[in-house]
Amino acid sequence: MMPGALGIEVIGKTGFDWVLIDMQHGCMGYEGALDMIRAADLHGLASIVRVPWNEPGIIGRMLDAGAEAILVPMI
């Protein structure tokens, strides 16, 4: 896996429709996810963000950042 916005750019050029941004199983924080959401938008990819836990604050921040869907773990 290629982390960060560069990986999203590569995926965007290969014909995929969406990308999963996994905040649960990595060390990525809000800023990293924000960069990846922006890159997905630039390349016409739907961004699905897997948040680290079921917490309304982080879910809202990801939606406000432009995520098109949220995957909530362990519910």
Active site positions, annotated:
25
* Rg (the chain; Cα; Å): 11
In degrees to the nearest 10, what's the CA dihedral of 13, 59, 74, 7?
20
Kindly report the number of other CB atoms within 10 A of residue 57's CB atom: 8
